[in-house]
């Protein structure tokens, strides 16, 4: 139990400066708006989301990154199969 308290205390000491800094910068970061005048297409689409609703923007970008990662993995898997490499799950025997 003492060890857990020490770990939690050290974690708090290490993260406290970052939390204080983030709280100080938070108000300024939330008021920042992007200039949409010279943007077109996909750039305009994402910049408008960013300006209107940051939570929706964050969720959409996170989901999009996951989908892009899956697509990259799928394409890599296809190329590795084409050159003859085995790309199945590894079985562990203990």
pLDDT tens, residue by residue, 32-66? 777 778 888 888 888 888 888 888 888 988 999 99
Distance CA 74, CA 37 (A): 37
* For residue 77, pLDDT beyond 60: yes
> Is the pLDDT reported for residue 81 higher than 70?
yes
Compute how many other C-beta atoms are within 10 angstroms of the C-beta atom of residue 44: 14
Mean pLDDT of the chain: 81
Average pLDDT over residues 67-84: 92
Which residues, 6+ apart, have CB-to-CB distance to 62 below 8 Å?
A: none
92 — pLDDT class (breaks 50, 70, 90): confident
Q: How many residues does the chain have?
A: 94
Burial label for 46, CB within 10 Å (0-12, 13-18, 19+), is: middle
């Amino acid at each position: 139990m003492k060890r857990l308290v020490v770990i939690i205390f050290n974690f708090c000491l290490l993260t406290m400066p970052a939390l204080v800094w983030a709280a100080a910068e938070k108000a300024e970061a939330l008021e920042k708006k992007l200039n949409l005048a010279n943007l077109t297409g996909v750039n305009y689409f994402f910049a408008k989301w960013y300006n209107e609703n940051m939570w929706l923007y964050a969720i959409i970008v996170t989901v999009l990154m996951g989908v892009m990662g899956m697509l990259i993995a799928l394409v890599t898997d296809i190329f590795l199969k084409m050159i003859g490499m085995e790309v199945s799950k590894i079985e562990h025997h203990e």
